[in-house]
Amino acid sequence: MAALAGLLKVAGHDVRGSDAAPYPPMSDLLAREGIGCLKGYVPENLSWGPEVVVVGNIARRDNPEAVEAQRLGLTLHSLPSALHDFFLVGRTPLVVTGTHGKTTTSSLLAWLLSACGAEPSFFVGGIPRNFGTNHRLGAGPHFVVEGDEYDSAFFDKGPKFLHYAPKVALLTSVEFDHADIYRDLDHVKEAFRKFVALIPRDGTLLVCPAFPHAAEVAQEATCRVLTYGIRGDEHLFAKDLKWTEGSCNFTLVDRGAGLLPEPMYARLPLTGLHNVQNAVGAVGAAVLQGLSPFRVLDALTSFAGVLKRQQVLGEAAGVRVLDDFAHHPTAAAVTLEGLRLGYAPKRLVAAFHFESNSSRRRVFEDDYVAALAQADRVYLSRPLRKADSLRPEEYLDADRVAAGLAARGVAASVYDTVDLMAQALVAELVAGDLFVGMSGRDFEGLHGKVLEGLRGRG
Protein backbone atom coordinates (compact mmCIF):
# COMPACT_ATOMS: atom_id res chain seq x y z
CA MET A 1 0.00 0.00 0.00
CA ALA A 2 2.89 2.40 0.73
CA ALA A 3 4.36 1.69 -2.70
CA LEU A 4 1.04 2.33 -4.42
CA ALA A 5 0.57 5.56 -2.47
CA GLY A 6 4.02 6.67 -3.59
CA LEU A 7 3.35 5.87 -7.25
CA LEU A 8 0.06 7.74 -7.18
CA LYS A 9 1.73 10.79 -5.65
CA VAL A 10 4.50 10.73 -8.28
CA ALA A 11 1.78 10.54 -10.94
CA GLY A 12 0.38 13.84 -9.62
CA HIS A 13 -2.48 12.72 -7.38
CA ASP A 14 -3.27 14.01 -3.88
CA VAL A 15 -2.82 10.93 -1.71
CA ARG A 16 -3.63 10.36 1.96
CA GLY A 17 -4.23 7.22 3.93
CA SER A 18 -4.79 5.56 7.27
CA ASP A 19 -3.47 2.51 9.07
CA ALA A 20 -4.09 0.85 12.41
CA ALA A 21 -0.44 1.04 13.47
CA PRO A 22 2.12 2.27 10.90
CA TYR A 23 5.66 1.05 11.56
CA PRO A 24 9.09 1.30 9.87
CA PRO A 25 10.37 1.04 7.26
CA MET A 26 7.13 1.88 5.41
CA SER A 27 6.01 4.59 7.85
CA ASP A 28 9.38 6.30 7.38
CA LEU A 29 9.07 6.05 3.59
CA LEU A 30 5.60 7.66 3.64
CA ALA A 31 6.85 10.46 5.87
CA ARG A 32 9.80 11.18 3.54
CA GLU A 33 7.48 11.41 0.57
CA GLY A 34 5.07 13.73 2.33
CA ILE A 35 2.16 11.30 2.28
CA GLY A 36 -0.09 11.79 5.29
CA CYS A 37 -0.84 8.59 7.24
CA LEU A 38 -3.50 8.86 9.93
CA LYS A 39 -3.52 6.32 12.75
CA GLY A 40 -6.79 4.49 13.12
CA TYR A 41 -9.90 4.13 10.98
CA VAL A 42 -12.75 6.64 11.34
CA PRO A 43 -15.23 8.03 8.78
CA GLU A 44 -13.82 11.53 9.27
CA ASN A 45 -10.59 10.44 7.56
CA LEU A 46 -12.48 10.79 4.26
CA SER A 47 -13.69 14.33 4.92
CA TRP A 48 -11.01 15.86 2.66
CA GLY A 49 -12.90 14.82 -0.45
CA PRO A 50 -11.09 11.94 -2.21
CA GLU A 51 -12.49 10.65 -5.50
CA VAL A 52 -11.06 7.10 -5.26
CA VAL A 53 -10.50 4.93 -2.20
CA VAL A 54 -8.02 2.04 -2.38
CA VAL A 55 -8.95 -0.59 0.18
CA GLY A 56 -6.18 -2.78 1.56
CA ASN A 57 -6.84 -6.47 2.08
CA ILE A 58 -6.55 -6.08 5.85
CA ALA A 59 -9.75 -3.97 5.85
CA ARG A 60 -12.91 -5.95 6.50
CA ARG A 61 -16.32 -5.14 5.08
CA ASP A 62 -17.28 -3.33 8.30
CA ASN A 63 -14.18 -1.09 8.33
CA PRO A 64 -15.54 2.39 9.20
CA GLU A 65 -13.80 4.05 6.27
CA ALA A 66 -14.87 1.38 3.78
CA VAL A 67 -18.46 1.79 4.98
CA GLU A 68 -18.20 5.58 4.68
CA ALA A 69 -16.66 5.40 1.20
CA GLN A 70 -19.57 3.31 -0.02
CA ARG A 71 -22.09 5.64 1.64
CA LEU A 72 -20.47 8.56 -0.22
CA GLY A 73 -20.58 6.65 -3.52
CA LEU A 74 -16.81 6.83 -3.98
CA THR A 75 -15.01 4.52 -6.42
CA LEU A 76 -13.45 1.57 -4.57
CA HIS A 77 -10.30 -0.12 -5.84
CA SER A 78 -8.26 -2.97 -4.44
CA LEU A 79 -4.51 -2.43 -4.45
CA PRO A 80 -3.88 -4.68 -7.50
CA SER A 81 -6.78 -3.29 -9.53
CA ALA A 82 -5.56 0.26 -8.90
CA LEU A 83 -2.01 -0.70 -9.86
CA HIS A 84 -3.25 -2.26 -13.09
CA ASP A 85 -5.63 0.50 -14.12
CA PHE A 86 -3.38 3.44 -13.21
CA PHE A 87 0.04 2.09 -14.17
CA LEU A 88 0.30 -1.29 -15.93
CA VAL A 89 -1.89 -0.55 -18.94
CA GLY A 90 0.40 0.40 -21.83
CA ARG A 91 3.54 -0.96 -20.16
CA THR A 92 5.27 -4.39 -20.19
CA PRO A 93 4.69 -6.08 -16.82
CA LEU A 94 7.53 -8.29 -15.57
CA VAL A 95 5.94 -10.10 -12.63
CA VAL A 96 7.91 -11.93 -9.93
CA THR A 97 5.84 -14.36 -7.90
CA GLY A 98 6.21 -17.43 -5.70
CA THR A 99 5.94 -18.38 -2.05
CA HIS A 100 9.48 -17.22 -1.29
CA GLY A 101 11.99 -14.74 -2.64
CA LYS A 102 9.60 -12.35 -4.39
CA THR A 103 10.87 -9.15 -2.82
CA THR A 104 14.58 -9.82 -3.27
CA THR A 105 14.15 -11.12 -6.83
CA SER A 106 11.90 -8.26 -7.98
CA SER A 107 14.21 -5.71 -6.33
CA LEU A 108 17.19 -7.28 -8.05
CA LEU A 109 15.46 -7.35 -11.44
CA ALA A 110 14.52 -3.68 -11.07
CA TRP A 111 18.14 -2.84 -10.21
CA LEU A 112 19.59 -4.79 -13.15
CA LEU A 113 17.27 -3.03 -15.60
CA SER A 114 17.93 0.37 -14.03
CA ALA A 115 21.72 -0.02 -13.87
CA CYS A 116 21.68 -0.99 -17.57
CA GLY A 117 19.82 2.19 -18.49
CA ALA A 118 16.36 0.69 -19.16
CA GLU A 119 14.63 3.13 -16.77
CA PRO A 120 12.03 0.65 -15.49
CA SER A 121 9.09 1.32 -13.23
CA PHE A 122 8.85 -0.97 -10.23
CA PHE A 123 6.54 -1.90 -7.37
CA VAL A 124 7.88 -4.20 -4.63
CA GLY A 125 6.97 -5.15 -1.08
CA GLY A 126 10.26 -4.18 0.55
CA ILE A 127 12.71 -1.32 0.15
CA PRO A 128 15.66 -2.05 -2.20
CA ARG A 129 18.68 -0.32 -0.74
CA ASN A 130 19.93 0.77 -4.18
CA PHE A 131 16.83 2.94 -4.57
CA GLY A 132 15.79 3.81 -1.01
CA THR A 133 12.15 3.37 -2.04
CA ASN A 134 9.88 0.49 -2.98
CA HIS A 135 8.41 2.15 -6.08
CA ARG A 136 9.43 4.16 -9.09
CA LEU A 137 7.70 5.46 -12.18
CA GLY A 138 10.30 5.18 -14.94
CA ALA A 139 10.42 6.38 -18.51
CA GLY A 140 11.08 2.90 -19.95
CA PRO A 141 8.48 0.36 -21.09
CA HIS A 142 9.10 -2.24 -18.36
CA PHE A 143 7.23 -2.40 -15.07
CA VAL A 144 8.64 -4.84 -12.48
CA VAL A 145 5.91 -6.04 -10.13
CA GLU A 146 6.16 -8.21 -7.04
CA GLY A 147 3.16 -10.48 -7.56
CA ASP A 148 1.56 -11.58 -4.31
CA GLU A 149 -0.75 -14.58 -3.98
CA TYR A 150 -2.60 -13.09 -1.00
CA ASP A 151 -6.18 -11.93 -1.54
CA SER A 152 -7.00 -8.49 -2.91
CA ALA A 153 -9.81 -6.94 -0.83
CA PHE A 154 -13.02 -7.83 0.98
CA PHE A 155 -14.85 -7.35 -2.33
CA ASP A 156 -12.24 -9.31 -4.34
CA LYS A 157 -11.01 -12.48 -2.63
CA GLY A 158 -8.85 -13.54 -5.60
CA PRO A 159 -5.03 -13.36 -5.47
CA LYS A 160 -3.51 -9.96 -6.18
CA PHE A 161 -1.30 -11.29 -8.97
CA LEU A 162 -4.30 -12.11 -11.15
CA HIS A 163 -4.59 -8.38 -11.93
CA TYR A 164 -1.04 -7.91 -13.21
CA ALA A 165 -1.22 -9.08 -16.87
CA PRO A 166 2.29 -10.63 -16.96
CA LYS A 167 4.29 -10.57 -20.19
CA VAL A 168 7.31 -12.18 -18.50
CA ALA A 169 7.00 -13.93 -15.14
CA LEU A 170 9.40 -15.49 -12.66
CA LEU A 171 8.01 -18.28 -10.48
CA THR A 172 10.47 -18.71 -7.62
CA SER A 173 8.67 -21.39 -5.60
CA VAL A 174 5.32 -22.87 -4.62
CA GLU A 175 4.63 -24.15 -1.12
CA PHE A 176 1.73 -24.10 1.33
CA ASP A 177 1.47 -20.67 2.95
CA HIS A 178 -1.15 -18.14 4.03
CA ALA A 179 -3.08 -20.75 5.96
CA ASP A 180 -5.64 -18.09 6.84
CA ILE A 181 -6.93 -17.94 3.24
CA TYR A 182 -5.74 -21.17 1.57
CA ARG A 183 -7.17 -24.53 2.60
CA ASP A 184 -4.17 -26.62 1.62
CA LEU A 185 -1.34 -26.95 -0.90
CA ASP A 186 -3.71 -27.87 -3.73
CA HIS A 187 -5.60 -24.64 -3.16
CA VAL A 188 -2.31 -22.69 -3.40
CA LYS A 189 -1.35 -24.49 -6.62
CA GLU A 190 -4.75 -23.68 -8.10
CA ALA A 191 -4.06 -19.97 -7.60
CA PHE A 192 -0.64 -20.18 -9.24
CA ARG A 193 -2.09 -22.15 -12.18
CA LYS A 194 -4.51 -19.28 -12.79
CA PHE A 195 -1.57 -16.86 -12.77
CA VAL A 196 0.47 -18.95 -15.23
CA ALA A 197 -2.54 -19.10 -17.55
CA LEU A 198 -2.43 -15.29 -17.84
CA ILE A 199 0.97 -15.28 -19.57
CA PRO A 200 0.39 -14.88 -23.33
CA ARG A 201 1.77 -17.38 -25.82
CA ASP A 202 4.48 -14.93 -26.89
CA GLY A 203 5.49 -14.34 -23.26
CA THR A 204 8.00 -16.25 -21.11
CA LEU A 205 7.82 -18.01 -17.76
CA LEU A 206 11.07 -18.55 -15.84
CA VAL A 207 10.65 -21.16 -13.12
CA CYS A 208 12.93 -22.60 -10.42
CA PRO A 209 12.44 -26.41 -10.52
CA ALA A 210 14.16 -26.84 -7.14
CA PHE A 211 10.58 -26.45 -5.90
CA PRO A 212 8.71 -29.38 -7.48
CA HIS A 213 5.27 -27.79 -7.06
CA ALA A 214 6.47 -24.76 -9.01
CA ALA A 215 7.72 -27.04 -11.79
CA GLU A 216 4.36 -28.84 -11.76
CA VAL A 217 2.43 -25.58 -12.10
CA ALA A 218 4.74 -24.43 -14.92
CA GLN A 219 3.89 -27.52 -16.99
CA GLU A 220 0.50 -26.01 -17.72
CA ALA A 221 1.93 -22.83 -19.28
CA THR A 222 1.17 -22.19 -22.95
CA CYS A 223 4.10 -19.76 -23.29
CA ARG A 224 7.85 -20.42 -23.51
CA VAL A 225 9.17 -21.89 -20.24
CA LEU A 226 12.79 -21.56 -19.10
CA THR A 227 14.14 -23.17 -15.95
CA TYR A 228 16.80 -21.67 -13.70
CA GLY A 229 18.65 -22.63 -10.54
CA ILE A 230 21.78 -24.22 -9.13
CA ARG A 231 21.28 -27.95 -9.76
CA GLY A 232 22.96 -28.01 -13.18
CA ASP A 233 20.11 -29.40 -15.26
CA GLU A 234 18.26 -26.10 -15.78
CA HIS A 235 18.31 -23.91 -18.88
CA LEU A 236 20.26 -21.30 -16.89
CA PHE A 237 22.23 -22.32 -13.81
CA ALA A 238 25.00 -21.33 -11.43
CA LYS A 239 27.91 -23.64 -10.69
CA ASP A 240 31.24 -23.55 -8.83
CA LEU A 241 29.81 -21.50 -5.95
CA LYS A 242 32.44 -19.95 -3.68
CA TRP A 243 31.41 -18.09 -0.53
CA THR A 244 33.11 -15.05 0.92
CA GLU A 245 31.89 -12.80 3.71
CA GLY A 246 28.31 -11.91 2.81
CA SER A 247 28.67 -12.76 -0.90
CA CYS A 248 29.01 -15.55 -3.45
CA ASN A 249 31.11 -15.95 -6.59
CA PHE A 250 29.92 -18.41 -9.24
CA THR A 251 29.90 -19.30 -12.92
CA LEU A 252 26.65 -18.77 -14.83
CA VAL A 253 25.98 -21.37 -17.53
CA ASP A 254 23.46 -21.31 -20.37
CA ARG A 255 22.18 -24.79 -21.32
CA GLY A 256 19.82 -24.05 -24.17
CA ALA A 257 18.23 -20.80 -23.01
CA GLY A 258 20.00 -18.78 -25.72
CA LEU A 259 20.76 -15.93 -23.30
CA LEU A 260 24.53 -16.16 -22.76
CA PRO A 261 27.28 -16.45 -25.39
CA GLU A 262 29.44 -18.57 -23.04
CA PRO A 263 29.80 -19.47 -19.34
CA MET A 264 30.27 -16.21 -17.46
CA TYR A 265 31.72 -15.21 -14.10
CA ALA A 266 29.26 -13.64 -11.65
CA ARG A 267 29.44 -12.15 -8.19
CA LEU A 268 26.40 -11.72 -5.95
CA PRO A 269 26.78 -9.56 -2.83
CA LEU A 270 24.26 -11.70 -0.91
CA THR A 271 24.60 -15.04 0.78
CA GLY A 272 22.54 -18.23 0.69
CA LEU A 273 21.72 -20.78 -1.98
CA HIS A 274 18.22 -19.33 -2.28
CA ASN A 275 19.63 -15.93 -3.18
CA VAL A 276 21.89 -17.42 -5.84
CA GLN A 277 18.77 -19.03 -7.35
CA ASN A 278 16.96 -15.69 -7.14
CA ALA A 279 19.87 -13.95 -8.88
CA VAL A 280 20.02 -16.48 -11.73
CA GLY A 281 16.31 -15.97 -12.39
CA ALA A 282 16.59 -12.18 -12.28
CA VAL A 283 19.59 -12.20 -14.65
CA GLY A 284 17.66 -14.39 -17.08
CA ALA A 285 14.63 -12.08 -17.02
CA ALA A 286 16.82 -9.01 -17.54
CA VAL A 287 18.70 -10.48 -20.52
CA LEU A 288 15.36 -11.53 -22.03
CA GLN A 289 14.57 -7.81 -22.31
CA GLY A 290 17.44 -7.42 -24.79
CA LEU A 291 20.07 -6.20 -22.34
CA SER A 292 23.71 -7.20 -22.71
CA PRO A 293 24.54 -10.13 -20.39
CA PHE A 294 27.93 -8.51 -19.73
CA ARG A 295 26.28 -5.31 -18.48
CA VAL A 296 23.69 -7.26 -16.50
CA LEU A 297 26.31 -9.32 -14.66
CA ASP A 298 28.35 -6.20 -14.00
CA ALA A 299 25.25 -4.61 -12.45
CA LEU A 300 24.73 -7.71 -10.30
CA THR A 301 27.91 -6.96 -8.35
CA SER A 302 26.48 -3.63 -7.13
CA PHE A 303 23.15 -4.89 -5.82
CA ALA A 304 22.87 -3.66 -2.23
CA GLY A 305 20.06 -5.93 -1.06
CA VAL A 306 16.73 -5.12 0.56
CA LEU A 307 15.88 -3.73 3.99
CA LYS A 308 14.92 -6.54 6.40
CA ARG A 309 16.49 -9.20 4.19
CA GLN A 310 19.76 -10.35 5.82
CA GLN A 311 20.21 -6.68 6.76
CA VAL A 312 23.24 -6.03 8.96
CA LEU A 313 22.09 -3.44 11.51
CA GLY A 314 25.34 -3.12 13.44
CA GLU A 315 27.96 -4.78 15.60
CA ALA A 316 28.59 -4.39 19.33
CA ALA A 317 30.67 -6.35 21.83
CA GLY A 318 31.89 -8.50 18.95
CA VAL A 319 28.32 -9.56 18.05
CA ARG A 320 26.92 -8.88 14.59
CA VAL A 321 23.17 -8.10 14.63
CA LEU A 322 20.98 -8.77 11.55
CA ASP A 323 17.32 -8.26 10.72
CA ASP A 324 15.36 -10.54 8.39
CA PHE A 325 11.78 -10.74 7.17
CA ALA A 326 11.62 -14.56 7.23
CA HIS A 327 8.31 -15.77 8.64
CA HIS A 328 7.52 -19.00 6.72
CA PRO A 329 9.42 -22.12 7.94
CA THR A 330 11.21 -22.56 4.60
CA ALA A 331 12.25 -18.90 4.56
CA ALA A 332 13.59 -19.20 8.11
CA ALA A 333 15.56 -22.34 7.22
CA VAL A 334 17.21 -20.93 4.08
CA THR A 335 17.97 -17.65 5.83
CA LEU A 336 19.81 -19.44 8.62
CA GLU A 337 21.62 -21.76 6.18
CA GLY A 338 22.64 -18.78 4.09
CA LEU A 339 24.00 -16.83 7.06
CA ARG A 340 26.06 -19.81 8.16
CA LEU A 341 27.47 -20.19 4.64
CA GLY A 342 28.22 -16.52 4.14
CA TYR A 343 29.54 -15.53 7.56
CA ALA A 344 30.75 -18.74 9.29
CA PRO A 345 29.91 -17.38 12.76
CA LYS A 346 31.15 -18.83 16.03
CA ARG A 347 27.50 -19.32 16.94
CA LEU A 348 24.37 -18.60 14.92
CA VAL A 349 21.75 -17.26 17.33
CA ALA A 350 18.16 -16.74 16.12
CA ALA A 351 15.07 -15.08 17.52
CA PHE A 352 11.72 -15.74 15.88
CA HIS A 353 8.56 -13.64 16.09
CA PHE A 354 5.35 -15.65 15.63
CA GLU A 355 3.35 -12.71 14.31
CA SER A 356 2.03 -13.45 10.80
CA ASN A 357 -1.36 -15.01 10.17
CA SER A 358 0.34 -18.25 9.09
CA SER A 359 3.16 -18.43 11.63
CA ARG A 360 0.74 -18.19 14.54
CA ARG A 361 -0.99 -21.38 13.42
CA ARG A 362 -0.31 -24.85 14.76
CA VAL A 363 -0.27 -26.33 11.23
CA PHE A 364 3.37 -25.20 10.82
CA GLU A 365 4.60 -26.21 14.30
CA ASP A 366 6.77 -29.17 13.27
CA ASP A 367 8.10 -27.25 10.27
CA TYR A 368 9.36 -24.47 12.54
CA VAL A 369 11.20 -27.01 14.66
CA ALA A 370 13.03 -28.34 11.60
CA ALA A 371 13.72 -24.84 10.25
CA LEU A 372 14.99 -23.21 13.43
CA ALA A 373 17.17 -26.23 14.22
CA GLN A 374 19.61 -24.68 11.71
CA ALA A 375 20.60 -22.26 14.50
CA ASP A 376 22.81 -22.96 17.51
CA ARG A 377 20.55 -21.12 19.98
CA VAL A 378 16.93 -20.01 19.55
CA TYR A 379 14.72 -17.43 21.26
CA LEU A 380 10.96 -17.58 20.61
CA SER A 381 8.07 -15.17 21.15
CA ARG A 382 4.59 -16.18 22.16
CA PRO A 383 2.26 -16.10 19.12
CA LEU A 384 0.87 -12.61 18.62
CA ARG A 385 -2.79 -12.29 19.58
CA LYS A 386 -4.91 -10.46 17.03
CA ALA A 387 -8.54 -9.53 16.71
CA ASP A 388 -9.31 -12.40 14.34
CA SER A 389 -11.25 -15.65 14.30
CA LEU A 390 -8.35 -17.94 15.20
CA ARG A 391 -9.57 -20.42 17.81
CA PRO A 392 -7.41 -21.17 20.89
CA GLU A 393 -6.72 -24.73 19.73
CA GLU A 394 -5.45 -23.43 16.37
CA TYR A 395 -2.65 -21.35 17.89
CA LEU A 396 0.91 -22.57 17.59
CA ASP A 397 2.38 -23.68 20.91
CA ALA A 398 5.77 -21.96 21.25
CA ASP A 399 6.69 -24.17 24.21
CA ARG A 400 6.16 -27.24 22.06
CA VAL A 401 8.44 -25.77 19.37
CA ALA A 402 11.08 -25.11 22.04
CA ALA A 403 10.77 -28.68 23.30
CA GLY A 404 11.12 -29.99 19.74
CA LEU A 405 14.29 -27.95 19.28
CA ALA A 406 15.69 -29.20 22.59
CA ALA A 407 15.07 -32.78 21.44
CA ARG A 408 17.30 -31.97 18.46
CA GLY A 409 20.02 -30.63 20.72
CA VAL A 410 19.28 -26.92 20.13
CA ALA A 411 18.69 -24.84 23.27
CA ALA A 412 15.50 -22.78 22.93
CA SER A 413 13.61 -20.44 25.24
CA VAL A 414 10.17 -18.81 25.04
CA TYR A 415 9.53 -15.25 26.21
CA ASP A 416 6.28 -13.51 27.09
CA THR A 417 7.63 -10.08 26.15
CA VAL A 418 10.24 -8.72 23.77
CA ASP A 419 11.87 -6.78 26.62
CA LEU A 420 12.54 -10.01 28.52
CA MET A 421 13.89 -11.61 25.36
CA ALA A 422 16.22 -8.67 24.74
CA GLN A 423 17.54 -8.79 28.30
CA ALA A 424 18.30 -12.52 27.95
CA LEU A 425 20.02 -12.00 24.61
CA VAL A 426 22.22 -9.19 25.93
CA ALA A 427 23.25 -11.38 28.85
CA GLU A 428 23.99 -14.47 26.75
CA LEU A 429 25.46 -13.26 23.45
CA VAL A 430 29.26 -13.43 23.23
CA ALA A 431 31.90 -12.12 20.85
CA GLY A 432 31.91 -14.05 17.56
CA ASP A 433 28.15 -14.70 17.63
CA LEU A 434 25.92 -13.70 14.75
CA PHE A 435 22.42 -12.81 15.91
CA VAL A 436 19.42 -12.59 13.56
CA GLY A 437 15.93 -11.57 14.60
CA MET A 438 13.28 -12.81 12.16
CA SER A 439 9.94 -11.02 11.96
CA GLY A 440 7.50 -9.85 9.31
CA ARG A 441 7.10 -6.74 11.45
CA ASP A 442 9.57 -4.69 13.45
CA PHE A 443 9.87 -7.33 16.24
CA GLU A 444 8.77 -4.59 18.67
CA GLY A 445 12.21 -2.98 18.50
CA LEU A 446 14.14 -6.10 19.53
CA HIS A 447 17.18 -5.45 17.33
CA GLY A 448 17.73 -1.95 18.64
CA LYS A 449 17.28 -3.07 22.22
CA VAL A 450 19.88 -5.82 21.75
CA LEU A 451 22.39 -3.47 20.13
CA GLU A 452 21.88 -0.86 22.83
CA GLY A 453 22.30 -3.45 25.57
CA LEU A 454 25.45 -4.90 24.02
CA ARG A 455 26.98 -1.44 23.68
CA GLY A 456 26.18 -0.80 27.31
CA ARG A 457 28.19 -3.83 28.36
CA GLY A 458 31.37 -1.90 27.49
DSSP of 220-236: T-SSEEEEEESSS-SSE
- 83 Rama sector, left if φ>0, alpha if ψ -120 to 50, beta otherwise: alpha
- Please determine, looking at this structure, whether the domain spanning 311-456 carries the CATH number 3.40.50.2300: no
CATH number of 2-80: 3.40.50.720
Compute the distance between CA of residue 223 and CA of residue 205 in angstroms, rounded to an integer: 7
68 and 46 Cβ atoms separated by less than 8 Å: yes
pTM of the model: 0.90
**Residue 327: predicted pLDDT:** 87
Closest by Cα among 121, 102, 85 to 169: 102
Contact 395/325 with Cβ under 8 angstroms?
no
Compute the residue count for the chain: 458
- Torsions phi, psi for 59 (to 5 deg): -80, 125
Let me know: does 332 contact 352? Beta carbons within 8 Å.
yes
Q: Are 379 and 438 in contact (CB under 8 A)?
A: no
pLDDT at 385: 81
Residue 458: what pLDDT?
Answer: 62
Pairing of strands 168-171, 142-147: unpaired
Query: Which string of b and e fits 90-125 if b means at least 16 CB within 10 Å?
Result: ebbbbbbbbbbbbbbbbbbbbbbbbbbebebbbbbb
Query: What angle in degrees, to the nearest 10, is found between the helix axes of 293-300 and 102-115?
Result: 120
Provide the sign of the torsion angle of the four alpha carbons 281, 283, 286, 292, taken in this order. negative
DSSP class per residue in 382-397: PPPP-SS---GGGB--
What are the structural domain ranges in the chain? 2-80, 90-300, 311-456
Is the CB of residue 300 less than 8 Å from the CB of residue 283? Answer: yes
Residues of the chain with pLDDT under 70: 387-389, 458
Write the CATH number of the domain with boundaries 90-300.
3.40.1190.10
Strand stretches in 47-88, DSSP E: 52-55, 75-78
- Strand 92-97 to 142-147 pairing: parallel
Collapse the DSSP code of 420 into the 3-class scheme (helix H, G, I; strand E, B; otherwise coil) and give the result: helix
Where helices occur in 148-224 by DSSP H, the ranges are: 185-197, 212-218
pLDDT tens figures, 280-331: 999 999 999 999 999 999 999 999 999 999 999 999 999 999 999 988 899 9
Are 343 and 246 within 8 A, CB to CB? yes
